[in-house]
């Protein structure tokens, strides 16, 4: 499976840097340049320069777009003009999505309606060229059809000049676009991540991760920014394939705590609450601590973003004074809940079946326990019989299992 990883943890991301990284990774220069020139034409035109540079001894591409246009167009006007251009459908649709993401962020910041929103710098020819060029480069590399992962996003500090005057960094629109995305502040008095860069990144990216994914890298591209900084002012993109077979790999954390003064009832309640709050799994196992004290080891599996919340819940419900957090990865099959209907004891019931697949191929199914329990209590039948009948109904529906 094709996989790409965008690393913007050192110097943030802007439209020109991301475009340059894609070009350095193999996107055809002239196709990208032509798309940028074509996009800028209805907005007064622009000059596009693409050249090789060295940043801290690392070879990189740099994209430089210049124009006399100063923007100040309505969002509606920008969309209308861009929509009239003859571009590849995937490129145009992605560029439109980026513009809408930017427009919604700007509208929330300034309290305006989309149809009345004015793009200042974002509505200028150079910004439109950056957006379109980046989308064209991503399309040429096949990134609009494959899985794209990205790192946390570096942001700077200080002030930035906007069409509305000075604003704090990260720019308000940038923060709106990056809601829900992991960011990391750096002690740099500069705008590391721009609204355009943030919108492009969040549109192209499928998932943000804490570290490099397991992959086989085939090409690497470096996109250089214009500012001189102590750290390399680069965006890096790695393109290759996911390591291993068709199994999905994902990042999780394991939360652990030892409890030697808590009853089993309290631990059971804590596990119930953790699962209800969205923990991937939770369990308790008996252990022997120092001086022969019997205790329980409680483990919780969770998404990295939920680690602190679940640590707090463990402390709240068990009274533990500390929780260990261990980052790790796991392989999982594709899973979904499939509804089925069946007749038992002269009555009709609905139940859910958990279906597991590998690369789209069915490898197993299992009746949802709570549904089977409910039906067993209503019919008086044994739960094993009910589970068997639910799974048979799923098989008849066409969900036949096969071996791994």
Which domain CATH number covers 346? 3.10.20.300
Please check whether residue 148 lies inside any domain of the structure: yes
Please check whether residue 78 lies inside any domain of the structure: yes
Query: Collapsing DSSP states into helix, strand and coil, what is residue 19?
Result: helix
Closest CA to 353 of 383, 334, 341, 345: 341
Residues 255 and 146 placed together within one structural domain of the fold: no
Residues 339 and 206 placed together within one structural domain of the fold: no
Residue range(s) defining the domain that contains residue 379: 334-396
The parts of the chain modelled with pLDDT lower than 50 are 399-404
Using alpha carbons, list the distances in angstroms from residue 308 to 279, 314, 316, 323, 325: 12, 10, 12, 10, 9
Q: What is the per-residue pLDDT across 109-143, written as a single tens digit (0 to 9) for each? A: 888 887 788 887 788 999 999 999 999 999 999 99
Task: Please report, to the nearest 10 degrees, the dihedral formed by the alpha carbons of residues 162, 33, 136, 104 taken in order.
Answer: 10
- Beta strands (DSSP E) in 30-99 are 47-55, 58-66, 73-74
Query: Collapsing DSSP states into helix, strand and coil, what is residue 303?
Result: coil
**Residue 203 and residue 176 in contact, taking contact as beta carbons nearer than 8 Å:** no
Please check whether residue 340 lies inside any domain of the structure: yes
- Determine the Cα–Cα distance for residues 91 and 163; give it in Å rounded to an integer: 28
Closest CA to 238 of 50, 94, 26: 26
How much is the pLDDT for 162?
75
Residues 198 and 298 placed together within one structural domain of the fold: no
Residues 28 and 156 placed together within one structural domain of the fold: yes
Residues 33 and 6 placed together within one structural domain of the fold: yes
**Residue 208 and residue 181 in contact, taking contact as beta carbons nearer than 8 Å:** yes
How much is the pLDDT for 351?
93
- Determine the Cα–Cα distance for residues 319 and 268; give it in Å rounded to an integer: 14
Residues 201 and 340 placed together within one structural domain of the fold: no
282: CATH: 3.30.70.1380
Residues 201 and 66 placed together within one structural domain of the fold: yes
How much is the pLDDT for 125?
92
- Determine the Cα–Cα distance for residues 189 and 230; give it in Å rounded to an integer: 12
Residues 230 and 340 placed together within one structural domain of the fold: no
- Determine the Cα–Cα distance for residues 182 and 237; give it in Å rounded to an integer: 18
How much is the pLDDT for 73?
87
Backbone CA torsion sign across 27, 29, 35, 37: positive
Residues 358 and 225 placed together within one structural domain of the fold: no
Q: What is the DSSP string of 182-233?
A: -EEE-S-SS--S-HHHHHHHHHH-SEE-SS--SEEEEEEEEEE-SS--SS--
**Residue 329 and residue 250 in contact, taking contact as beta carbons nearer than 8 Å:** yes
- Determine the Cα–Cα distance for residues 21 and 64; give it in Å rounded to an integer: 13
**Residue 62 and residue 110 in contact, taking contact as beta carbons nearer than 8 Å:** no
Q: Count, in order, helices (H) and strands (E) of the chain.
A: 11, 20
Residues 238 and 256 placed together within one structural domain of the fold: no
Please check whether residue 403 lies inside any domain of the structure: no
Please check whether residue 169 lies inside any domain of the structure: yes
Q: What is the per-residue pLDDT across 190-234, written as a single tens digit (0 to 9) for each? A: 899 999 999 999 999 998 998 888 888 999 999 999 888 888 999
User: Going by C-beta distance under 8 Å and a sequence separation of 6 or more, which residues neighbour residue 357?
Assistant: 333, 334, 335, 336, 363
User: Going by C-beta distance under 8 Å and a sequence separation of 6 or more, which residues neighbour residue 384?
Assistant: none
Number of domains comprising the chain: 3
Sheet of 294-302, strands arranged across: 281-288, 294-302, 248-259, 324-332
Does the model's pTM come out above 0.75?
no
Please check whether residue 85 lies inside any domain of the structure: yes
Backbone CA torsion sign across 153, 156, 162, 165: positive
Domain boundary among 216, 242, 268: 242
How much is the pLDDT for 402?
39
Domain boundary among 185, 208, 242: 242
Residues 96 and 215 placed together within one structural domain of the fold: yes
User: Going by C-beta distance under 8 Å and a sequence separation of 6 or more, which residues neighbour residue 123?
Assistant: 43, 71, 72, 73, 74, 75, 77, 78
**Residue 161 and residue 120 in contact, taking contact as beta carbons nearer than 8 Å:** no
DSSP 8-class letter at 139: H
How much is the pLDDT for 223?
97
Domain boundary among 242, 270, 291: 242
Residues 313 and 207 placed together within one structural domain of the fold: no
Query: Collapsing DSSP states into helix, strand and coil, what is residue 68?
Result: coil
Please check whether residue 319 lies inside any domain of the structure: yes
Please check whether residue 69 lies inside any domain of the structure: yes
């Amino acid at each position: 499976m094709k996989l790409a990883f965008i690393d913007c943890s050192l110097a943030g991301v802007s439209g020109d840097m991301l475009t340059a990284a894609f070009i350095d990774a193999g996107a055809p220069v002239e196709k990208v340049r032509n798309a940028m020139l074509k996009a800028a034409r209805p907005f007064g035109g622009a000059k596009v320069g693409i050249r090789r540079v060295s940043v801290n001894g690392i070879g990189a591409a740099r994209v430089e777009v210049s124009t006399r246009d100063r923007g100040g167009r309505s969002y509606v006007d920008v969309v209308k003009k861009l929509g009239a251009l003859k571009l590849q459908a995937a490129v145009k649709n992605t560029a439109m999505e980026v513009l809408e993401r930017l427009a919604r962020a700007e509208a929330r910041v300034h309290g305006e309606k989309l149809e009345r929103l004015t793009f200042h710098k974002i509505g200028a020819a150079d910004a439109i060229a950056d957006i379109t060029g980046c989308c064209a480069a991503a399309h040429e590399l096949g990134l609009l059809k494959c899985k794209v992962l990205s790192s946390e996003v570096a942001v700077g500090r200080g002030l930035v000049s906007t069409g509305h005057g000075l604003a704090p960094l990260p720019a308000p629109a940038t923060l709106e676009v990056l809601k829900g995305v992991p960011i990391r502040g750096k002690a740099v008095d500069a705008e590391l991540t721009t609204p355009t860069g943030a919108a492009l990144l969040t549109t192209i990216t499928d998932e943000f991760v804490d570290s490099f994914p397991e992959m086989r890298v085939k090409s690497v591209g470096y996109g250089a920014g214009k500012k001189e900084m102590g750290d390399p002012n680069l965006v890096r993109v790695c393109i290759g394939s996911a390591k291993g077979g068709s199994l999905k790999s994902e990042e999780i954390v394991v939360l652990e705590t030892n409890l030697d003064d808590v009853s089993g009832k309290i631990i059971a309640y804590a596990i119930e609450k953790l699962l209800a709050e969205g923990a991937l799994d939770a369990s308790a196992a008996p252990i022997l601590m120092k001086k022969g004290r019997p205790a329980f080891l409680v483990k919780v599996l969770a998404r990295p973003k939920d680690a602190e919340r679940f640590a707090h819940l463990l402390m709240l419900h068990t009274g533990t004074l500390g929780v260990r957090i261990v980052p790790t990865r796991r392989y999982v099959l594709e899973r979904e809940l499939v509804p089925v209907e069946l007749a038992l004891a002269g009555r009709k019931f609905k139940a859910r079946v958990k279906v597991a697949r590998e690369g789209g191929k069915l490898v197993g199914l299992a009746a949802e326990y709570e549904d089977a329990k409910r039906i067993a209590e209503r019919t008086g039948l044994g739960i094993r019989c009910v589970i068997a009948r639910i799974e048979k109904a799923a098989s008849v529906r066409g969900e036949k299992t096969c071996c791994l």
